[in-house]
Amino acid sequence: MRPARAPVSIAALFASRAQPARAQGSSLDRAPKVGFVSLGCPKALVDSERILTRLRAEGYEISPTYDAADVVVVNTCGFIDAAVDESLDAIGEALERNGRVIVTGCLGARPERILARHPRVLKVTGAHAYEDVMDAVHEHVPPRHDPFTHLVPPQGIRLTPRHYAYLKISEGCNNRCSFCIIPSMRGRLASRPIDEVLREAERLVDAGVKELLVISQDTSAYGADLRYRSGTWRDATYETRFIDLARGLGSLGAWVRLHYVYPYPHVDAVIPLMAEGRVLPYLDVPFQHGSPSVLKRMRRPAHAEDTLTRIQTWRGLCPQLAIRSTFIVGFPGETEAEFSELLDWMDAAQLDRVGCFKYSPVEGAAANALPDHVPVPLQEERYARFMERAGAISAARLKRHVGSQMRVLVDAIEGGTAVARSAADAPEIDGVVRIAGARGLAVGDWADVMIVGADAYDLSARLLH
Ligand code: SF4
């Protein structure tokens, strides 16, 4: 199985040479132009989309090159040290090529780290600080339009292909996993009211989106901070909670894919919606380990749940359910016995899609203080053993699909081959379905196919209609 992607660059929109700095607040006889570099996870991508939407609404143009931009916004990631380095490099590149740079995103929660290396940045704001970013842009490149009198598409500006969109339902997280510093960077759980989320989803579907990818830090906790407050949408009352969200989204006629769900008992209620075809039979559950003692040291949400029984219950209710997860091997103190427990857990769980990270310390994380860090060569060895086991499970599970029919969504056309995804494949992180000789298909099309082959990660198919 494919390792999960490190939370690094999703879109970097530039090339080209340096631009001399302009005087602050200079007035322009053309639309002001903002360059944008977006790094990090899908949650950061949604932040970028919101800022871009505001910029376009106010008459800013988005510049594809550094030299044509009046100012550059860099949306950073600070999840692991590699992502911090990539963010600092991106800021340096923007400074070198343009000179006028505003920094936002997760790394913005640690401005001292940015300013120590790049003291010339114009402004540093934290994650999802849209207003602060806009204020900084206004200060350095004044707008020419009033956002309330100029139109942008009702679905806003998006960086994803037209046929799918990320739907962020909350910010922040109330958990305190010992390896993670996201709560200190992005704050406590702050859910968006249900009616607001459902209206946004409706606008996206009206604009041609065929797949909604629900994201947050902890989707199963949705609404707890709002005490599950009610809202009205399409003349019906919904509570701001996980199951009502799934019901509402499931009525839109699009694929609905649930990410970052934790295995709490209340999650069971969504499985019948999957069996009925209203929500995709797909759950992204970041289990992270199979050993209860390691999960306890990780301080994982739902670490005391009997996850294997829960998986069995889900599959009993919805046999076609695909479960995706990520894992960390070599967590501090992980013994050979605990690692074997993880492998045994994998054999029993038979997950469909698995990504794996070798543990690496993150500045400020509680896990750094744990004793008995696992040496890197042993981490490498465990990673290889884990991936071999996971790859064999994936290959066996994919093979079961050969000879079956399925509906897929086309993401790309490469030569005469359509690269599509099934219900079991989220974009960017899971496998694909390759359809050879797919004449007549276009990006964003549905296709009904017969599966004719499988390898460890991907399927190949023949077009039926
Ligand atoms: S659930 Fe854990 S890993 Fe995920 S954001 Fe919250 S604290 Fe971090």
Strand-pair partners of 203: none
Which atom, in ligand 1's list, is nearest to the CA of 179? Answer: 3
Q: What is the pLDDT of residue 147?
A: 57
Cβ-count burial 276-312 (b if 16+ within 10 Å, e if not)? eebbbbbbbbbbbbbbbebbebbebbbbebebeebbe
Which atom, in ligand 1's list, is nearest to the CA of 300? Answer: 2
Residue 2: which of 379, 386, 300 has the closest Cα? 386
Q: What is the pLDDT of residue 146?
A: 59
Q: What is the pLDDT of residue 150?
A: 56
Structure tokens at 3: 């390792």
CA 174 to ligand 1 center in whole angstroms? 8
Residue 12: which of 66, 53, 68 has the closest Cα? 66
The answer to whether 438 and 463 have CB atoms below 8 angstroms apart is yes
Q: What is the pLDDT of residue 373?
A: 94
Task: Report the chain's mean pLDDT, rounded to a whole number.
Answer: 89
pTM, two decimals, is: 0.76
Q: What is the pLDDT of residue 6?
A: 31
Question: Which residues line the pocket of ligand 1, CB cutoff 6 A?
Answer: 173, 175-177, 180, 182-183, 217-218, 301
State the Cα–Cα distance between residues 52 and 49, nearest whole angstrom. 5
To test the pocket of ligand 1, the residue of 217, 219, 297, 327 to mutate (highest count of ligand atoms within 8 Å of its CB) is 217
Q: Express as a percent the part of the chain with pLDDT over 70.
A: 91
pLDDT digits (tens, 9 = 90+) for 85-126: 999 999 999 999 999 999 999 998 888 999 999 999 999 998
Give me the average pLDDT of each 10-residue run along the chain (465 residues): 34 33 48 92 89 88 92 90 90 95 91 92 87 88 66 72 94 92 89 96 94 95 96 96 97 97 92 97 96 94 82 95 96 97 96 94 90 96 96 95 96 94 95 91 95 95 89
Please name the residue whose Cα sits nearest to atom 4 of ligand 1. Answer: 217
CA 183 to ligand 1 center in whole angstroms? 7
Total Cβ atoms within 10 A of residue 79: 21
